[in-house]
Amino acid sequence: MSYQLNYQSASYLANADLSNNQQQLVILDTTTGKVRMPTSTAEFAEGVLENAPLANMPATVSYQGVTKVIVDAAYSVGTALMARYDSTSGATGLFNTGSGTLATTPGAARLKMLESSTQAGDIVACRFIDGSVTGILG
């Protein structure tokens, strides 16, 4: 049973319709100042989208504490997660372990699983870690 605990969030505008991306990691676009889904394998997550905003509507993004996320596979407790962009399929917003595309990039991990998942689409509790990339300590 996933849960949220003492998470802190900030409000940004959504750069596109993110109504289907709730509980996924999002990127803060440094050009527009809006949040969006990842579009390259070299991007670092700002935090987890807590609501389901349409384009140019307020997006609530948690960046510290414990929150719920949707995972892309079965993982165990303690697995580190990061934003994922699959350049082959174009899939975005799911999560990878340290063996994923961003494994060699220091600081890419953004969340640590507090619950295990059994399959893609599971919603699990995660704690933020390593916010040094965004300047926010997690």
CA distances, 47 to each of 25, 109, 132 (Å)? 5, 11, 12
- Copy the structure tokens of residue 90: 């174009």
Given the structure tokens 């993110």, which residue do they identify? 18
Residues 30-46: what's their mean pLDDT? Answer: 85
| CATH 1.10.3470 is the classification of domain 5-128 | no
Q: Is the pTM of this model over 0.85?
A: no
Confidence grade of residue 135 (pLDDT, cut at 50, 70, 90): very low
Confidence grade of residue 120 (pLDDT, cut at 50, 70, 90): confident
pLDDT of residue 51: 96
